[in-house]
Amino acid sequence: MDILEERIKLHLGISDDIYTIVIWGAGQFGELIYNLLASKWPQHKILGYVDSSVKQVTFKGQAKIFPISELTSMEYDLLFISSIEYESEIEAQLNSLDIKLPGKAIKLTEIPDLLLLIQELHASRDYQKTKNLIYRFPDVEAFWLLLSELATDPHESKLCYECYQRLSKKR
């Protein structure tokens, strides 16, 4: 299972609920999310995309692309944000539309219950479990920082800390 699929699965949860979904961003990443949702979770209804580059409803293949102005009148359960680079700007736009994070809007860079998981790892000091989680979530700074503390090899510890620093600078 790849990282994107893992993240989507975490956000959809294991319930039998059927969601109506909108994807913010009709670019390549949005299309990847759309195709993954359609193939792996076909029980959910994907309304289409919302995108700042369109002023009226258009189509991308079979999927509709709505202007952002229509988002407040749409009925949906979840909105996946498909832009990592413009995530903070999108979050500001969502706040101006009174759509709160977390809630209906989902940032795929965030992991549900991450804080609890990090607290458990700190308490257990489990090196192997932390290392395994880095393979699943390589973009989570806290895992790199913790692994730098747990590693017994000074070279590995230094490399992990450098990864932590690089990820911290991106935020």
The model's pLDDT over 66-85, given as tens digits with 9 standing for 90+, comes to 999 898 899 999 999 998 78
Which tens digit of pLDDT belongs to each residue from 137-162?
Answer: 888 888 899 999 999 999 999 999 99
Q: Which two tokens stand for residue 59?
A: 């189509």
- Fold for 3-107, please state it: Rossmann fold (3.40.50)
Strand order in the sheet with 58-60: 58-60, 63-67, 45-51, 20-24, 78-81, 105-107
Sequence ranges of the domains in the chain: 3-107, 114-170
Report which secondary-structure segment, H or E, holds 55: none
Which tens digit of pLDDT belongs to each residue from 19-74?
Answer: 999 999 999 999 999 999 999 999 999 999 999 888 888 888 889 999 998 988 99
pTM: 0.71
